[in-house]
Amino acid sequence: MTSRQQTELENQITILYQTESRRVLATLIRLLGDFDLAEEAMQEAFTAAAEQWAEEGVPKHPRAWLISTGRFRAVDLIRRRTHFRKIQPELTARVEEIVHHNADLADHDIQDDQLRLIFTCCHPAIDPRVQIPLTLREVCGLTTDEIASAFLTAPATMAQRIVRGKSKIRDAGIPYIIPSEADLPQRLDAVLSVIYLVFNEGYSASGGESHLRPALSTEAIRLGRLMLDLLPDPEVMGLLALMLLHESRRTARQSADGDIILLDDQDRTLWDQHLITEGQQLVGRAFSSGQIGVYSLQAAISAVHASAQRPEETNWSQIVELYDTLRQAENSPIVELNRAVAVAMRDGVQAGLDLIQAILDRGDLIDYHLAHSARGELLRRVGRIEESRTAFLEALNLTRQEPERRFLRRKLQELDSAE
């Protein structure tokens, strides 16, 4: 194999790892019944791929190859450990079960494994504070730091929660299955929350060099579609609509250099009209059911934005009204912040600024960089430059994402130039 071919293979395996590793892991967890063993087996499978594919070429179905190889590597791992120490009888039985398992896995056999694993992690026997972080870590591959950031929690605390969750699944023998139709509603809220948090991490990464992580957004939408096939609930429709409407703007949300482009400055001709149409149709279906939840309301707000061909055509009154309804269903500080921005656009900057200040004065969102960034922008618009600078600096200190840091530095430079 030439050096060029070797480089191409390495790139192909890297892409496979980025796009398929969580699906491979989910299937291995189901087959092996052990999170840590599945993780180790998956890593060995990718190592084997780098070695064997250089000689044999990339197989026709690489995901199935990785799962099959991972399964047999797990058998080898268990046998090696058995050589040095006794293992539990049920683990020995599991080895034999794996050995006799059919080596050929069709795509339809593994397609829903991530969904199965999500439902497992969201089992009612698991502490609700653990369900979503555990799923984000094990199903979607977010780091403990990323999850801790999303929940405004210390990484060490989050790591302990995740370990407790895995132990609970093992010790309680929680099955890796999609629950019956009667049990679905009990776990629906947690599952939808997981899918949306995955999408959000792809839509605006919590840290790192890139503003977007498209693979996560795409995966969240795929899981949303699976959920809609499984349970055509209005809130499932609402969540999928919300993700599609947000995703429709992805190409316009950053420059070729990876810099952030705000909504008002985006080239709306780049918005994906197919995704917008699908999202709007789902919003209509959700609202026509008469069961309007938080995801459907958020999707309706995004649909209003998507309907405006130019920023000045945005119906801010309708958006504020939808936020008012959303506050009745979920009166969170984040919803209040977003409503405040909409109020600033409808009623004037000072009206929105007063609302944001009230949120911060009572101690909410003081560690949320977007609250300070929004306040800084509104302060800039009313000419309160020094206060605006302080707010942007506070936002800069709180964000770990490099494109957002560049955006805030530019804002500070613009303030310096304006003086």
pLDDT tens digits along 25-41: 888 888 887 888 888 89
pLDDT surpasses 60 at 46: yes
Q: What is the pLDDT of residues 211-222, one digit of tens each?
A: 778 888 988 898
Q: What is the pLDDT of residues 188-219, one digit of tens each?
A: 888 898 889 889 888 887 767 777 788 889 88
Sorted by sequence, the CB contacts under 8 Å of residue 281 that are 6+ apart come out as none
Q: What is the pLDDT of residues 294-347, one digit of tens each?
A: 999 999 999 999 999 999 999 999 999 999 999 999 889 999 999 999 999 999
Closest-CA residue to 236 (of 227, 226, 246, 247): 227
Sorted by sequence, the CB contacts under 8 Å of residue 242 that are 6+ apart come out as 196, 279, 295, 298, 299, 302
* Cα pseudo-dihedral 97, 102, 107, 113, rounded to 10: 0
Name the helix (H) or strand (E) containing 3: helix 3-32
Q: What share of the chain is helix, strand, coil (3-state, %, to 5)?
A: 75, 0, 25
Q: How far is CA 353 from the centre of its chain?
A: 30
Q: What count of other Cβ atoms lies within 10 Å of the Cβ of residue 73? A: 20
Give CATH 1.25.40.10 domain extents, the chain.
Answer: 330-419
User: What's the rounded Cα separation, in Å, for the pair 273 and 295?
Assistant: 21
Residue 3 in tokens:
């050096």
Question: Comparing 91-105, 124-138, 164-178, 182-196, which segment has the lowest mean pLDDT?
Answer: 91-105
pLDDT surpasses 70 at 269: yes
Residue 52 in tokens:
């064997």
Position 111 scores a pLDDT of: 53
Runs of H (alpha helix) within 308-401: 316-329, 333-347, 349-361, 369-381, 385-398
pLDDT surpasses 60 at 247: yes
pLDDT band at 109 (very low <50, low <70, confident <90, very high): very low
User: What's the rounded Cα separation, in Å, for the pair 30 and 123?
Assistant: 15
Query: Long-range contacts made by residues 278-285, C-beta under 8 angstroms, separation at least 24?
Result: 278/241, 278/244, 279/240, 279/241, 279/242, 279/244, 279/245, 279/248, 279/303, 279/306, 280/241, 280/245, 280/306, 280/307, 282/237, 282/238, 282/240, 282/241, 282/244, 283/237, 283/238, 283/241, 285/234, 285/237
> Is 1.25.40.10 the CATH number for 330-419?
yes
pLDDT surpasses 80 at 110: no
Residue 51 in tokens:
């070695």
CATH number for the domain running over 3-104? 1.10.1740
pLDDT band at 386 (very low <50, low <70, confident <90, very high): very high
pLDDT surpasses 50 at 105: no
User: What's the rounded Cα separation, in Å, for the pair 132 and 148?
Assistant: 11
User: What's the rounded Cα separation, in Å, for the pair 286 and 284?
Assistant: 5
Q: What is the pLDDT of residues 345-367, one digit of tens each?
A: 999 999 999 999 999 999 999 99
Give CATH 1.10.1740 domain extents, the chain.
Answer: 3-104
Position 333 scores a pLDDT of: 95
Position 84 scores a pLDDT of: 45
Residue 215 in tokens:
């693979």
Q: What is the mean pLDDT of the chain?
A: 86
Classified as helix, coil or strand, 351 is helix
Parallel/antiparallel/unpaired status of strands 400-401 and 207-208? parallel
Query: Residue 367 burial (CB < 10 Å; 0-12/13-18/19+)?
Result: exposed
pLDDT surpasses 80 at 1: no
